[in-house]
Structure 1
């Protein structure tokens, strides 16, 4: 079983793997129901449709693939940077939907994505030298 796990030192590759797996689960939920998407965008009302939920799920799947690739190729600077970009785009999206556009409201649905993207960004920026050199 351990042969399937990232082989690099440190905890960040495992974190990226975990976040990728969770994102795939979120993608499946977004394709099956609008419930979780509505929890994030609580103030969006009728703007949340099955289509918008699936689009959100598709973005989440793309992010999961990038993060998964980074988990296994964490010493590659381009892959590391791409994972940073994906977390940055997610952070900017969720914060602007909350603060600027007002479609998201602080709660269970929004807390997870903001805390995960914020924490991951700080962790990845602080560990750049360790993993990339």
Structure 2
């Protein structure tokens, strides 16, 4: 149990679950960024493109190696901002920047799905869409608790 306490010492020392959630999502963002640089497979599952008679994302997805790496770069930046927000959650500027990452992510994923049609609802889009909407809502609801 000493190792668990040691690991917990690296987590944000603020009350509540939002700061550890922001760190968790930031770390997951880094992992997602790595895969975006290494393979198109997961990016193509988010951006499936127009429905077709094939279930092969490689044939329907508008994702390219360049767009995948660009997405990976954006995801790294968003993850860094969220981690900084977690450790400085009582600082209005950091909180606003963290909130903005969720706002932009929600706008991006939902517009690609509902406006541009490059994403289709499914397991590839559900995770990022729920994370973006959930993080946005949670940060909005907790704003007054963390930022005085």
Band of TM-score, shorter chain: over 0.9
What TM-score do the two structures reach when normalised by structure 1?
A: 0.96
Is the aligned partner of 1:13 residue 2:28?
A: no
Aligned residues: 133
Larger Rg: 2
Residue aligned with 1:15, SS: helix
- Unpaired stretches in structure 1, ≥5 consecutive residues: none
> Quick one: distance in 2 between partners of 1:48 and 1:60?
15
> Quick one: distance in 1 between partners of 2:42 and 2:142?
32
**Equivalent of 2:84, from 66, 69, 92?**
69
Q: Where is the helix percentage greater, Structure 1 or Structure 2?
A: 1
Residue aligned with 2:9, SS: helix
Q: CA 1:86–1:129 in 2, change beyond 3 Å: closer, same or farther?
A: same
Root-mean-square deviation (CA, aligned residues, Å) is 1.0
What TM-score do the two structures reach when normalised by structure 2?
A: 0.87
- Unpaired stretches in structure 2, ≥5 consecutive residues: 1-6, 51-59
